[in-house]
Amino acid sequence: MRQSNEIMVTIREGKRADCPAVYQLIQELAVYEKAADQVEITEEELAEDGFGPNAIYHLLVAEKEDQIIGIALYYIKYSTWKGKCVYLEDLIVTEKYRRVGAGKLLFEELIKIAAKLNAGRMEWQVLDWNEPAIGFYKKYNAELDGEWYNAKFRREQLQELSKKLK
């Protein structure tokens, strides 16, 4: 157990039974990011993708008195230049417990994991308007790269493109 600024917080690996609370945090983050209507994943998919036979992500959980108050969801990716890398998909702390140190504990635990894995990089994204998060990452001297564009295909685009490519 590690103590944050004001509260006692335990950081541990996540487990399947945590998925309902994790899903609620994901919903809360979507509202914060003004994208509540964009969450497509179900709680069942979340559980299977993280804890099924072909798990594709890892999870750290921050608990206060057996209540999940935050998560760091990450996975291993591969860089042709750097090799194995850790990608932090989301660092979420429920609003009531922001700015008391839970996010710091989660982030620092992930840094330790990345170092133990001898990762070539640890990467994540932050929205350009999320000043509290940007300030948090700057405290660690993180490189905020404005040089690269984010590129993606959404599910619908993938389905349409796939049909055209047959």
Q: For this structure, is 57 an active site residue? A: no
Q: Are 138 and 144 in contact (CB under 8 A)?
A: yes
Three-state SS string over 81-137 comes to CCEEEEEEEEEEECHHHCCCCHHHHHHHHHHHHHHHCCCCEEECCCCCCCHHHHHHH
Find the catalytic residue in 75, 137, 140, 149.
137
Measured distance CA(133)–CA(57) in Å, rounded? 22
Which residues, other chains included, contact 9 with Cβ-Cβ below 8 Å and sequence gap of 6+?
1, 2, 3, 62, 63, 64, 69, 101, 102, 105
Q: Which residues are catalytic?
A: 137
